Amino acid sequence: MNGHHTTTGLSRFLACCVVLFLAVLSPPAGAQQLPLRYYTNTEGLGDLAVTALAQETNGAIWIGTENGLYRHNGDSIRNPLGDEKLQVNNLALGGDGTLWVASDAGIYHYRDGKMSKVPMQDATWSPLQGQAVAPLAHGGLLVVGKEGKLWRVTGAGARLEPALPPTLGSSQSDTLDARSILVASDGAWWFGCGSGLCRWHDNRLERWGTADGVPQSEWLGLRQAKDGAIWARSDRYIVRRAPGAAQFANVTPDGLGHGANHIWLPMIEDGQGRLLTPGNAGVYRWQAGQWQYFGERNGLVEDGIRTMLSDANGDVWLGTTGHGLAHWRGYENWSSWTTREGLPSQVVWSIADDGAGRVWIGTQRGVVSTDADGRTMTSEAPSVTGQVGGILADGRGGLWLSTFGGELFHRRRGESWRAMTDTGQIRARRLLAVGDELWVVAGKSGLFTLPLDGSGPARRRDELDPLFDTSDRGVNTACHERNSDVVWVGTGSGLLRYDPARGFTRPQVNGLAQGDGVPYLACGAGRVWLRTGNGRELMRIDLRQSGILQAVPMRPGVLKGLRILSMLEDRRGWLWAGTDVGVVRWNGKDWRRFDESNGLVWNDCDQNALAEDARGDIWIGTSGGVSRIGSPEQLERTQRFVLELNEAKLGSVDLKPGRKIDVPAATYTLELRWEVPLFTNRLSQHVRYRLRGSEDGWTDLTGSELRYAGLGPGSYRLELFAVNDDLGRRSAPVALDFDIAPPWWRRPSVAAAALIAVALLVVAAHRFRVRRLVQHRNELEALVRERTRELAESHERMRELAFTDSLTGAMSRRAILDAAERALAQQRRHGGVVTLALLDLDHFKRVNDTYGHPAGDALLRGLVTRLRAQIRDGDCIGRYGGEEFLLVLPDLSLDGPNGVERVDSWRHAVAADPFDIGDATPLRVTCSIGIASACANETLESLIARVDAALYRAKAAGRNRVEVGLPRAPDDDPHRGDIVTRVS
C-alpha cells in the first residue's frame, strides 16, 4: 500500500527505545494488574492475528482475523463459514443487523446465516486495509478502495458504485487519496485524504491541513466521541476537533508510536467517554485532559494491538497481532494488584483505610500501603515474623497492626512503630477501636483490650467467661453497630452484645441454636449479619424490631454450595460476602456473585479480607492478590440477558416463536439449539424448559441443545428461558406452539362410527364375553406376570453385561472409567481428593502357560474377591484389561497419614495367602501397583497416564511393589518424575 514500507531493523530499534522511555514520557496508569483473559486456539480461535471486532445487539462478538471469520457467543468461538477461510481486514455492523466484511478478496455481507459477495465490475479491485468501511444510517456501506477512492455499497449489497457525485470535478476526486472513513452523527463523511483530513457534507467537500491544526501525516484512524468531538489518528499524531470548533488541537501523547502495527490505528470510546487507542506495546487512554498508558507491566502483550471494542457491558476487547483476542474484564470498575505490582505476597489477610489517603494491605509476608488509586506501593511496616492478620486505623491518627504469630504493633502518625506485646502473647484475628480502647480478638485466647494511645499493657477480658455455655470459649470476631456505641461479638458458643452502660450480655435471639458458634459477623445500621459455625448458614437480625430478636436465615441461590469467609456491610447498606468462589453482594434487593470472569484477581477470598475505603470503594483480599471495586454503584448496570434460538425444527419443519405450526400425522423429532451471549458468570447459567402436552414439570439443562424424539399426535407448547443465579437474572421466555394431527383412524368422525359398531358388537356378544371374561382375564394376568418377570430378568442380565466383567464380577472397563470421570467431576465442583490405582499380577502369563487358562481365570476371580475385602465401601474396582485392575479411590490422599500404606496393604494381602486355582496346588502370586492423585482440573486421560507410568516403573524396578506418581514440575524432563516407592 502506498505510504507504507517494511519495518527495518533501525525502525524496530527506535520503537524499542520509545517503549523504554514510555513511562517517563507519558503519565503512567496505576500500577495494577489488568484482569485480562486471552482467547487463543484452545478456545476455538483458529488464527491469532486479530484484525477486526464488531458486536451484535444481542451481545455476540464477531472476530476478524488474517485467516478466518469467527463468532464468539460467550460459550464458544466458531467459524460460521465452516472450513472456508477469509482474510478479514475490517468489520462493520449495519443498523439492520447486516455484518459487512472487508477482505482482500472484496466486500461481503453476512445475514441470516448466509455470506454473499458484493458484485464488482473490476475483479482486481479490493478495499483498503485498516479503517476502510463505515455503515450508512439508512443501509448500505461506505468503502475506501485500495486506490484511494470512496465507494458506496447499496443497502441490499447488490452493487458497488462511486460514492461521490459526478458533479465533483475529476481533478478533485482523483486527488483525494482517501485512507480511512467515518460517518458522523450528522451524516457527514470524514476521511483521511492525502496528508490531511476531508469532510463531505451537503454536497460540499472541505479540507483540513496544517493551517487548521492538522499536521501532514497519513490519517488512518477516525472517531466521533459521544460529545461530538472528532478525533483523528496517524502513526505520529493524535488531533481533536471540539464540538463547534473550527480548528483541530494536537493532543499527541509523548512517545506515541504504532509499534508492529502500521495499518490498523483504531480508536474507541469507553462507557465513561474516555478515548482509547493503541501505542507501541500497549494502550493509551485519554482522561481528564491527559493520557494514561497501560503496557506490559499491566499484563498486556507487546506484539501490538490492531483492533479494539468497547462492548455493551462496558468491558474492552483488544485484538492483538499474534496473541489472539484479549478481554479486559471488569474494565469500568475492577482493579487488581499482585506481587508483580509490589505486594509482598499474593495471599492477602487484612485491608484498612488509614483516613489519610492511603490503604494498608496485610499479606502472608508483610504489609504495604498504597494511595487510593494504587499507583504506588510502599513497605512501611516493621519487620514481622507472621502473616499480617489485622490492620486498624483507630481514628485518632494511630495505626495498629497484628500478626497471626502473636505480634502487635502501634504507630502514631509521624512516629515510629512500637511493639506492644511479646511475640506469641496475643494471636490476634481482628482489631477493633471501641471508645478509648483497642479490642484484640484473639480466638481461643479470648478478648484482650488496651488503651488506644498505647499507654498501657493488654489485659484479658475475663468477664466474658461466665457468658460461655459450651466448652468453646473462643472469641472469633466483633463489629460496631453503625451509628451506635454497641458492639456485637461472635464467639465459639454464640452471639454476645456489648454497650458501655451494661457491659457484655448474651441477648436472646430466636432462630439461633443454643451453643451455635458465630465465626463471622457484619454490622450495619439497624441490623447484624452472621454466619453460623455449625450450619454454615447466613442469617440476618433486624435490630429495629420490637421484642425478642429474630435471626432470619438467608438462602439465596447464589450462595448455594459456597463457604462464607468474610462479611462487610458498607455505608450504602449493601452486604458483601467473600467466599471460596468469589465475592457475593446484596444491594437490598438482588443478590449477585462476582468472580474472575468479572475482574476479580482470584476466586478464593481470604478470611476477614474485606474493607471499604474513604471513597466507598470495596477492597477484596484473596489468595491470589487484592482487588478493588471502584464506584460499586456502576455494577448495577443491567446486562442484556436474552436466550436466542439458533435453530428449532420439528422434523424438517422450522418452528418460529409466536407462530403456531400444524403438521400432518407422523412421528416427529423436535430439535433445538440456542445461545445466551454472555461473557461473565457462565458457571451458574442454565436453561429451564418444559414441553406441555408431554410433561408439565420444569427441567434444568446446562447445555445449549435439546432433542425430543418420538413425538406423536397432540397439541404441544415448548417453553424455555435462561437462568443465571450469579447475576440474579432470567431471560424472557421463548415459546413454540405446534400441533401434530392424528392419523385418519383417530379423527372424530371415524372414531364415532367405530364406537357405534363396537357398541353393536358388544350387545351381540355380551353373553359370550361374560362367560369368557373371567377365564380370559386370569390367563392374561398370568401371561403379563410371566412376561414382566422375563423382561425384568432380561433387563438385569443386560445391565450386568454392560457394567460387570463376566469373568471376575468386577466392574467392566467402561463402568470403571465412567466412575473415574464422575469422581473427577465431583472433585472439580466441590474439591477433595481423587486417587487412582492400577494393579497388575506379576508373571500372570506364566500361570496361564503352566497351569492353563482355567487356572488363570480362577486366580483373577480370587484376586477380585480378596481386593473387595480390603477396599472401602465408596471405592470402586474394575477390570481395566487382561490381568490389570483399575481402582477409583475418592478422598484417599497420598499426602495424608497412611495413604500409601493403605494401598501397600493390598499388595501384602495379595501375596499373603495362596490362591485356589482348581485341581492344581494353591498358588502364591504377587502384584505391582501404580497410584496417583488427581491435580486440579486434570483430565482422566492425563491421570491414567501417570498411574500407568507408575505401574511401569513398579514392573521395571522388580515387581511386587507400589509406585506413586507425583506431578512433574513444568521444566522436568518428560521421562522423569518424583516417585515414592514401597517395597515388600
User: Cβ atoms within 10 A of the Cβ of 455, count?
Assistant: 7
Q: What is the largest CA-CA distance in the chain?
A: 115
| Cα 978 from Cα 970, distance rounded (Å) | 13
Distance CA 442, CA 808 (A): 58
Please enumerate, as own/partner, the contacts of 251-257 that have beta carbons within 8 Å and a separation of 24 or more.
251/286, 251/291, 253/25, 253/26, 253/279, 253/284, 253/291, 253/293, 254/25, 254/26, 255/18, 255/21, 255/22, 255/25, 255/26, 255/279, 255/280, 256/284, 257/15, 257/18
Contact 479, 488 (CB under 8 A): yes
Assess contact for 641 and 686: CB atoms under 8 A: no
Which burial class, exposed, middle or buried, applies to 178 when counting CB atoms under 10 A from its CB (0-12, 13-18, 19+)? buried
C-alpha span between 708 and 669 (Å, rounded) = 6
CA distance 82 to 688: 30
Contact 59, 74 (CB under 8 A): yes
**If you ran DSSP here, which 8-state letter would residue 596 be given?**
G
- 813 vs 820: CA distance, rounded Å: 11
Q: How far apart are CA 907 and CA 903, in angstroms?
A: 7
**Beta carbons within 10 angstroms of residue 604's beta carbon:** 15
Residue 466: how many other CB atoms lie within 10 Å: 9
Give the pairing type, strands 268-269 and 275-278: antiparallel
Which one, of 426, 423, 429, lies nearest residue 441 by Cα? 429
Element (H, E) at 687: strand 685-692
Look at residue 14 and give its three-state secondary structure. Answer: helix
Catalytic residue among 569, 596, 883, 963: 883
Q: Is position 821 annotated as part of the catalytic site?
A: no
H helical segments located in 804-868: 813-830, 844-851, 853-868
Cα–Cα distance, 290 to 270 (Å, whole number): 15
Length of the chain: 984
Q: How many CB atoms lie within 10 A of CB 645?
A: 15
Which region, left, alpha or beta, applies to residue 937 given φ > 0 means left and ψ of -120 to 50 means alpha? Answer: left
Residue of 520, 495, 523, 499 whose CA lies nearest to 509: 495
Residues 6+ apart with CB under 8 A from 724: 641, 676, 678, 681, 682, 684, 685, 730
Q: Is beta strand 77-78 parallel, antiparallel or unpaired with respect to 68-72?
A: antiparallel
Cell of 374: 494504587
Retrieve residue 216's grid coordinates: 501532514
Report angle CA 940, 942, 944 to the nearest 5 degrees. Answer: 65
Burial class of 447 by CB neighbour count within 10 A (0 to 12, 13 to 18, 19+): buried
DSSP bridge pairs for 39: 325
Distance CA 340, CA 740 (A): 64
Contact 688, 721 (CB under 8 A): yes
Provide the annotated active-site residues: 883
